[in-house]
């Protein structure tokens, strides 16, 4: 099995070899290791992307806005890097949409890292595939097609999720009451002495 | 009294870093202290009469076992080489996570001797190989088989029976990634598993010579004397491959140096030095004189350093004898200030290491802070602005941005990765080909370009916006922000300049490993010795922590 460290370093070098800067190459190395660690086909998609990268033209987005549309497919790496770099302004937008991103799997690690930076879960939809990016700790998804190469995403939607509970008040109340069954009901004497404080409040 | 930390712009100069010595902070010393209560076992020893075959040694603590798997092979003298181009070695080793099964051993037998072209699994943690020291291996075997101990002078001159030529870890060639082991309680500091491998290899080398001698002459053979064993370490031959590590791991480098600098600061701030502390310092200082004279090298550069060190040590002893009183307040501070004024770096740094010896209480907590989770500091704080960046560059790189890179001599070298061995190399930009494939290690030059690039950019521009058009400098923008929080992260020198001494970079790293007897074979590779004087596995429960200053009488 290829180790994540080998993936990181080889991807970094390959990224430099196709023409990106060393600084970007470092980001891609980390990103592909992350994808592979989460079981997503990073190497396969990157390899395919780099095969066509020099011959085909891709759009390099610079400033990301609410809606980003291009006739030429966006480069997933430059889009991802700029998303990451602009995250502190982008997080204020309710929803961000892209149309036409090449090899969108390669875009995912940058959004995952953004989730950690802003401290919010991010919902990412790549056409029909949905991903929940949890602070860069895990990726929850309905994308279970395994080792597939996805050459293009027509529509990508990104939503920053507010830090809210996934349960209602009643769910919590019921569970809390159950947890109280491990507590001891104190006698009057115990109320006075068990905490170890003095007998008057102001001594 | 508060003593300031030493200025990173002074400490992080390569000539200074290349004068560092082993200390209580060094990994092989802290490793031995951590492993006092581990259980050791020789699980397998299947060598033929010539010492070829396989062996397994294990160290166990609680429910965790680490096993050194050894393969000893027959090779001809012509095939034996320390250079990285070698393809065969006398021995090859892997540290296995757990107890290897027969199936694991057979798998490892196929791949471990192949080293870089073999494939390991996540069950293996470190990988290494070693060659016999032709200067003493046969002499030791011959002597033992004749029933006599080997010549002690020869033993001290070389210092080891085997010399490793690489010790790999952290995911190389399929080995386990760091994330798999980083949260293990029983291994706390950096490079613990590499140290464990080398230490167990040392044990194997003794068993092997005893075994061959016994096979050779079963009636007459004797075992290698335990005191001689203690004074044999493991050699290591190290080339440029190690140098970029200290550039590529800035936060880790910072934590190593910071631990040293904090130690020194705290020791200088001690108001009253106890008698026993002063006595230990003096005792080890005197022992060092004898120890240092056993550092042999053909390198004129290193010989001059050793002679200079000895000259300065004598000067220091003279100073101490002429009325210096450790009973005076802040005496270690006084001593340090005198050293700075009167001695050269080689000796100043040796004295700094010696000053740490009496102070476990200061040093031990710092050892735990020498690792780092590098991933935490990878993200660039893109919400910051150009003013922040400019301030960092002017504060932390003031010497670097003075370098004139339009001068040929300041651009003389470039670092590249060899296609043959996938290892870092250094070449002359104006003579050799390949500069267009330069590795991103010319930090000083790129920091200077960054500084010039932002000279006309308004202060309020965010780093995120700046990077849109300037991603070619992204690698140094990242480093600059790392240096904001890690003052000792950056070497304050130009490592592509014509005056570069690459072995300074190697010595820095090796000093933190705990290596001694630096013996440069050129300006790009050197031999060293590890664990010479160290306790044997059976001594680990109780040993003198000053073992590294011992000398075989």
Q: What residue segments make up the domains of chain A, in order of their start?
A: 4-160
In the predicted model, is pLDDT for residue B84 greater than 80?
Answer: no
In the predicted model, is pLDDT for residue A53 greater than 60?
Answer: yes
Burial class (CB in 10 A: 0-12, 13-18, 19+), B312: buried
Cα four-point dihedral sign B349, B350, B354, B360 = positive
pLDDT tens for each residue of A90-122: 999 989 999 999 999 999 999 999 999 999 999
State the pLDDT at residue A200. 56
Q: Do A81 and B473 touch (CB under 8 A)?
A: no
Judged by a CB distance cut-off of 8 A, whether residue B477 touches chain A is yes
Query: What ipTM is given for this predicted complex?
Result: 0.90
**A202 vs A3: CA distance, rounded Å:** 63
Residues B199 and B80 both lie in one domain: yes
Would you say residue B239 lies in a domain?
A: no
**B424 vs B418: CA distance, rounded Å:** 6
Which B residues in the span 367-406 are in contact with A, Cβ-Cβ below 8 Å?
A: 375, 378-380, 382-383
Which of A3, A87, A89 is nearest residue B174 as measured by Cβ atoms? A3
B-chain residues near A24 (CB < 8 A)? 471, 474
**B178 vs B374: CA distance, rounded Å:** 11
Would you call A18 helix, strand, or coil by DSSP? coil
B323 in the Ramachandran plot: left (φ > 0), alpha (ψ -120 to 50) or beta? left
Residues B435 and B455 both lie in one domain: yes
The answer to which of A150-159, B143-152, B166-175 has the lowest mean pLDDT is B166-175
> How many residues in chain A?
203
Which of B122, B462, B474 is nearest residue A24 as measured by Cβ atoms? B474
In A, minimum Cα distance to B170 occurs at A5
State the pLDDT at residue B403. 97
State the pLDDT at residue A174. 96
- Residue A145: partners with Cβ closer than 8 Å, 6 or more residues away: none
pLDDT tens for each residue of B33-50: 988 889 999 999 999 999
Judged by a CB distance cut-off of 8 A, whether residue A52 touches chain B is no
8-state DSSP, B447:
H
Q: Which two tokens stand for residue A71?
A: 């006739």
Q: How far from the centroid of its chain's Cα atoms is residue B420's Cα?
A: 25
Judged by a CB distance cut-off of 8 A, whether residue A21 touches chain B is yes
Judged by a CB distance cut-off of 8 A, whether residue B474 touches chain A is yes
Half-sphere exposure of B245 (CA within 13 A, CB side): 21
B337 in the Ramachandran plot: left (φ > 0), alpha (ψ -120 to 50) or beta? alpha
Q: What is the distance in angstroms between the CA of the first residue and the CA of the last residue of chain B? A: 43
What confidence tier does B527 reach under pLDDT thresholds 50, 70, 90?
confident
State the pLDDT at residue B378. 96
Which A residues in the span 88-107 are in contact with B, Cβ-Cβ below 8 Å?
A: 88-89
Q: Do B171 and A6 touch (CB under 8 A)?
A: yes
Instruction: Over range B352-364, report the average pLDDT.
Output: 97
A-chain residues near B173 (CB < 8 A)? 6
A-chain residues near B475 (CB < 8 A)? 21-23, 26
CB B330 within 8 A of CB B270: yes
State the pLDDT at residue A202. 58
> How many residues in chain B?
553
Which of A22, A87, A117 is nearest residue B440 as measured by Cβ atoms? A22
pLDDT tens for each residue of B92-139: 999 999 999 999 999 999 999 999 889 999 999 999 999 999 889 999
The dihedrals phi and psi of B498, each to the nearest 5 degrees, come to -70, -20
Instruction: Over range B429-455, report the average pLDDT.
Output: 96
In the predicted model, is pLDDT for residue A199 greater than 60?
Answer: no
Residues B180 and B313 both lie in one domain: no
Site from B474, B477, B478 to mutate, A interface, most A CB atoms within 10 angstroms: B474
Would you say residue B542 lies in a domain?
A: no
Q: Which two tokens stand for residue B371?
A: 């690792």
B296 versus A24: which is more confidently predicted? A24
The answer to which of A138-147, B14-23, B128-137, B445-454 has the lowest mean pLDDT is A138-147
B-chain residues near A82 (CB < 8 A)? 468
State the pLDDT at residue B552. 54
**B537 vs B531: CA distance, rounded Å:** 12
Judged by a CB distance cut-off of 8 A, whether residue A114 touches chain B is no
**B68 vs B86: CA distance, rounded Å:** 22
Residues B67 and B214 both lie in one domain: yes
Residues B122 and B138 both lie in one domain: yes
Would you say residue B52 lies in a domain?
A: yes
B172 in the Ramachandran plot: left (φ > 0), alpha (ψ -120 to 50) or beta? beta
What confidence tier does A198 reach under pLDDT thresholds 50, 70, 90?
low
Q: Do A22 and B471 touch (CB under 8 A)?
A: no
CB B97 within 8 A of CB B66: yes
Minimal CA separation from B492 to chain A, in Å: 21
Number of domains in chain B: 3
The dihedrals phi and psi of A2, each to the nearest 5 degrees, come to -80, 135
Would you say residue B133 lies in a domain?
A: yes
Would you say residue B544 lies in a domain?
A: no
Residues B209 and B265 both lie in one domain: no
Residues B387 and B457 both lie in one domain: yes
Q: How many helices (H) and strands (E) does chain B have?
A: 20, 11
Residues B66 and B214 both lie in one domain: yes
Minimal CA separation from A142 to chain B, in Å: 27
Q: Do A3 and B176 touch (CB under 8 A)?
A: yes
pLDDT tens for each residue of B257-310: 999 999 999 999 999 999 999 999 999 999 888 878 777 777 788 788 888 999
Which of A21, A85, A86 is nearest residue B472 as measured by Cβ atoms? A21
Judged by a CB distance cut-off of 8 A, whether residue A118 touches chain B is no
**B286 vs B302: CA distance, rounded Å:** 21
Per-residue burial over A172-184, b = 16 or more CB atoms within 10 Å of its CB, e = otherwise: eeeeeeeeeeeee
Minimal CA separation from A110 to chain B, in Å: 11
Residues B422 and B453 both lie in one domain: yes
* Percentage of residues in chain B having pLDDT higher than 90: 78
In the predicted model, is pLDDT for residue B221 greater than 90?
Answer: yes
The dihedrals phi and psi of B267, each to the nearest 5 degrees, come to -70, -40
pTM: 0.93
B-chain residues near A81 (CB < 8 A)? 467, 471
H runs (alpha helix) in chain A = 4-17, 22-37, 42-53, 76-85, 87-90, 108-118, 169-179, 188-193
Which B residues in the span 153-212 are in contact with A, Cβ-Cβ below 8 Å?
A: 170-179
In B, minimum Cα distance to A17 occurs at B437
In B, minimum Cα distance to A78 occurs at B468
Site from A5, A36, A91, A117 to mutate, B interface, most B CB atoms within 10 angstroms: A5
B-chain residues near A2 (CB < 8 A)? 174
Q: How far from the centroid of its chain's Cα atoms is residue B247's Cα?
A: 14
Would you call B337 helix, strand, or coil by DSSP? helix
In the predicted model, is pLDDT for residue B518 greater than 90?
Answer: no
B-chain residues near A20 (CB < 8 A)? 471
Minimal CA separation from A117 to chain B, in Å: 8
Minimal CA separation from A13 to chain B, in Å: 10
What confidence tier does B421 reach under pLDDT thresholds 50, 70, 90?
confident
In the predicted model, is pLDDT for residue B553 greater than 60?
Answer: no
Burial class (CB in 10 A: 0-12, 13-18, 19+), B543: middle
Q: Do A22 and B170 touch (CB under 8 A)?
A: no
A-chain residues near B172 (CB < 8 A)? 3, 5-6
Instruction: Over range B483-495, report the average pLDDT.
Output: 96
Would you say residue B117 lies in a domain?
A: yes
State the pLDDT at residue B329. 97
Residues B60 and B162 both lie in one domain: yes
Judged by a CB distance cut-off of 8 A, whether residue B228 touches chain A is no
Site from A85, A91, A111, A116 to mutate, B interface, most B CB atoms within 10 angstroms: A85
**B508 vs B518: CA distance, rounded Å:** 11
Which of A24, A87, A89 is nearest residue B471 as measured by Cβ atoms? A24
Minimal CA separation from A198 to chain B, in Å: 38
Would you say residue B118 lies in a domain?
A: yes
Judged by a CB distance cut-off of 8 A, whether residue B151 touches chain A is no
Q: Which two tokens stand for residue B159?
A: 């210092």
CB B237 within 8 A of CB B527: yes
Minimal CA separation from A150 to chain B, in Å: 26
Residues B432 and B314 both lie in one domain: no
State the pLDDT at residue B297. 75
Site from B386, B438, B468 to mutate, A interface, most A CB atoms within 10 angstroms: B468
In B, minimum Cα distance to A23 occurs at B475
Which of A2, A26, A86 is nearest residue B464 as measured by Cβ atoms? A86
Given B189, B224, B259, the domain boundary residue is B224
State the pLDDT at residue B289. 84
Q: Look up the domain containing B305 and give its range.
A: 8-23+247-371+501-512
What confidence tier does B551 reach under pLDDT thresholds 50, 70, 90?
low
What confidence tier does B76 reach under pLDDT thresholds 50, 70, 90?
confident
Which of B170, B382, B472 is nearest residue A85 as measured by Cβ atoms? B382
State the pLDDT at residue A197. 60
């Amino acid at each position: 099995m290829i180790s994540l460290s080998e993936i990181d370093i080889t991807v970094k070098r390959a990224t430099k070899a196709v023409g990106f800067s060393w600084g970007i190459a470092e980001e891609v190395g980390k990103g592909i290791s992350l994808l592979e660690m989460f079981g997503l086909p990073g190497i396969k998609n990157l390899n395919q992307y780099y095969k066509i990268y020099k011959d085909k033209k891709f759009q390099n987005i610079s400033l990301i806005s609410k809606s980003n549309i291009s006739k030429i497919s966006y480069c997933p790496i430059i889009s991802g890097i700029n998303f990451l770099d602009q995250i502190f302004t982008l997080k204020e937008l309710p929803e961000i949409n892209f149309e036409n991103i090449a090899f969108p799997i390669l875009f995912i690690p940058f959004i995952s890292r953004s989730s950690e930076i802003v401290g919010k879960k991010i919902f990412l939809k790549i056409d029909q595939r949905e991903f929940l990016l949890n602070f860069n700790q895990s990726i929850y998804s309905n994308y279970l097609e395994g080792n597939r190469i996805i050459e293009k995403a027509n529509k990508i939607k990104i939503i920053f999720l507010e830090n809210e509970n996934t349960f209602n008040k009643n769910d919590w109340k019921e569970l809390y009451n159950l947890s109280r069954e491990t507590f001891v009901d104190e006698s009057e004497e115990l109320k006075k002495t068990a905490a170890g404080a003095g007998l008057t409040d102001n001594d | 009294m508060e003593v300031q930390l030493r200025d990173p712009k002074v400490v992080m100069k390569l000539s200074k870093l290349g004068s560092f010595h082993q200390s209580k902070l060094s990994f092989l010393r802290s490793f031995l202290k951590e492993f006092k209560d581990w259980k050791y076992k020789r699980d397998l020893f299947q060598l033929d009469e010539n010492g070829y075959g396989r062996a397994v040694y294990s160290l166990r603590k609680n429910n965790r076992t680490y096993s050194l798997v050894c393969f000893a092979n027959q090779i001809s003298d012509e095939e034996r080489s320390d250079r990285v181009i070698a393809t065969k070695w006398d021995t090859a080793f892997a540290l296995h996570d757990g107890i290897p099964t027969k199936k694991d051993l057979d798998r490892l037998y196929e791949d471990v001797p192949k080293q870089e072209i073999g494939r390991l699994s996540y069950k293996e943690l470190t990988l290494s190989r070693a060659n016999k020291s032709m200067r003493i291996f046969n002499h030791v075997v011959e002597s033992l088989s004749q029933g006599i101990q080997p010549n002690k002078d020869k033993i001290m001159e070389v210092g080891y029976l085997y010399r490793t030529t690489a010790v790999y870890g952290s995911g190389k060639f399929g080995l386990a990634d760091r994330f798999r082991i980083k949260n293990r309680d029983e291994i706390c500091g950096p490079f613990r598993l590499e140290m464990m491998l080398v230490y167990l290899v040392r044990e194997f080398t003794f068993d092997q010579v005893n075994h061959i001698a016994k096979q050779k002459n079963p009636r007459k053979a004797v075992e290698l004397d335990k005191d001689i064993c203690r004074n044999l370490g493991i050699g290591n031959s190290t080339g440029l491959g190690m140098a970029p590590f200290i550039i590529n791991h800035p936060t880790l480098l910072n934590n190593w140096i910071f631990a040293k600098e904090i130690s020194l600061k705290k020791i200088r701030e001690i108001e009253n030095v106890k008698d026993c502390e002063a006595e230990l310092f003096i005792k080890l200082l005197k022992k060092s004189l004898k120890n240092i004279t056993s550092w042999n090298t053909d390198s004129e550069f290193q010989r001059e350093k050793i002679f200079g060190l000895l000259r300065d040590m004598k000067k220091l002893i003279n100073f101490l004898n002429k009325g210096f009183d450790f009973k005076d307040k802040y005496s270690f501070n006084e001593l340090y200030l005198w050293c700075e004024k009167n001695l050269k770096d080689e000796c100043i740094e040796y004295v700094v290491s010696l000053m740490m010896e009496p102070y476990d209480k200061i040093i031990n907590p710092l050892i735990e802070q020498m690792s780092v989770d590098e991933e935490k500091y990878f993200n660039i704080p893109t919400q910051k602005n150009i003013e922040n960046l400019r301030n960092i560059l002017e504060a932390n790189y003031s010497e670097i941005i003075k370098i004139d890179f339009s001068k040929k001599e300041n651009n003389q070298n470039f670092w590249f990765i060899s296609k043959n061995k996938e290892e870092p190399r250094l070449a002359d930009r104006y003579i050799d080909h390949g500069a267009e494939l330069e590795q991103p290690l010319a930090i000083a030059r790129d920091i200077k370009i960054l500084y010039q690039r932002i000279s006309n950019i308004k202060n309020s521009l965010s780093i995120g916006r700046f990077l849109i058009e300037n991603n070619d400098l992204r690698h140094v923008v990242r480093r600059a922000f790392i240096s904001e929080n890690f003052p000792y992260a950056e070497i304050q020198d130009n490592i592509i300049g014509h005056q570069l001494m690459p072995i300074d970079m190697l010595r820095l790293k090796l000093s933190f490993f705990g290596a001694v007897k630096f013996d440069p074979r050129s300006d790009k590779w050197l031999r060293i010795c590890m664990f010479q004087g160290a306790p044997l596995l059976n001594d680990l429960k109780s040993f003198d922590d000053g073992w590294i200053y011992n000398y075989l009488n």
